[in-house]
Amino acid sequence: MNAPPNNIRTLSTAQLAELAANIKNWGQKLGFQQVGITDTDLSRAETSFLNWLSHGHQGEMEWMARHGSLRSRPAELVPGTVRVISVRMDYLPNASPAEDVLANDQLAYVSRYALGRDYHKLMRRRLQTLAERIATVSGPFGYRAFVDSAPVLEKPLADKAGLGWIGKHSNLLHRDAGSWFFLGELYTDLPLPIDESVTDHCGDCEACITACPTAAIIEPYVVDARRCISYLTIELQGSIPVELRPLLGNRIYGCDDCQLVCPWNKFASISREEDYSPRHGLDAPELVTLFNWDEATFLSKLEGSPIRRIGHEAWLRNIAIALGNATGRPEIIAALKALLHHPSAMVREHVVWALQQHGLNLEEDIDHV
């Protein structure tokens, strides 16, 4: 936390209430669609999170359990924290219709959040500006900004701050905005008045559970990451389980199916942030075109993109599966054959699998292809 000096200004209850109202106004002027404030009690969320971990639903994301109680106890992560300012920024881009891309097996589907520039830096800068604006009224105060970058239970915090409720697909939902938004936080030592949480409005709807291609939503509000396409294509470091590969379809980076079918997302608005607009035609690119990117092209084209962090090998792995699931064409077979001798054993394995889906039964041992 940016620690305050000893001469921190003391604010009355009325002044804190006025400051809280101003924080929400300032936040909206900075491009956050909503700002809420909550305390640090995450005891209920902690129980659910620990139960989720105990079942191994995090898969290879060992960092989810690495920090002990710091994730669910903000004052342990940042000593002195008594409140959390939670913010929402809409990201839905003006892009080719997701349903059309998913229906065309010659195209690659990229999760809508990753079509433009990485959101971390943009939101962190805005949060820093918000903190500096607060200081002009409060005087120096303690704070620390987070944007999906530390052990933080951001969705339970946003839920408590009144930004929405956690849906059965585990995403935060808002009645007027759906779920197409990012979250960020300011941990602070200012004892601001807190907001009320909102009611769960999922009701009997289970559209997200039914729509999940891999049945990763194993029960309402519980996602087994090991089956989730977002985990498989982004977080998983090695080979994607063979039994799940046909279910990925043409999804090469993330998956939005649970959000696409959610009735509340009909209220979502297109983002006004230019940084979230599609770059390099990623909203409806041809699979073969992306598969032909060498590593230098991959790094260059995706500079400033969240996709870049998975690396070129995982990129090829994911696209190879999509090509295996696609309707066979000569250019697809040629593109796959061109990588049969790729230096990466993981890439070769998935290329061989893809060719086998098109009836090419390669008898050579994969390590010697």
Q: Which residues are catalytic?
A: 148
Calpha distance 275→279 (Å, rounded): 9
Instruction: Please give the full DSSP string across 115-131, using - where no structure is assigned.
Output: SSS-HHHHHHHHHHHHH
Residue type for 211, please? A
CB atoms within 10 A of CB 261: 17
Residue (of 285, 295, 300) closest to 342 by Cα position: 295
SS3 call for 188: strand
> Around 124, how many Cα atoms within 13 Å sit in the side-chain half-sphere?
11
Within its chain, how far is the Cα of 239 from the centroid? 21
Would you say 171 and 161 are in contact if contact means Cβ atoms under 8 Å apart? no
- Is the CB of residue 344 less than 8 Å from the CB of residue 313? yes
Q: Give the Cα separation of 15 and 18 in Å (integer).
A: 5
- Residue 5's Cβ-count burial label (10 Å; 0-12, 13-18, 19+) is exposed
Helix H or strand E segment including 297: helix 295-301
What 3-state DSSP class applies to 199? Answer: coil
- Three-class secondary structure of residue 57 per DSSP: coil
Structural contact between residues 188 and 83, judged by C-beta atoms closer than 8 angstroms: yes
Query: Which pair of structure tokens corresponds to residue 302?
Result: 């995706």
In the numeric block, which tokens belong to residue 315?
A: 């990129």
End-to-end CA distance of the chain: 53
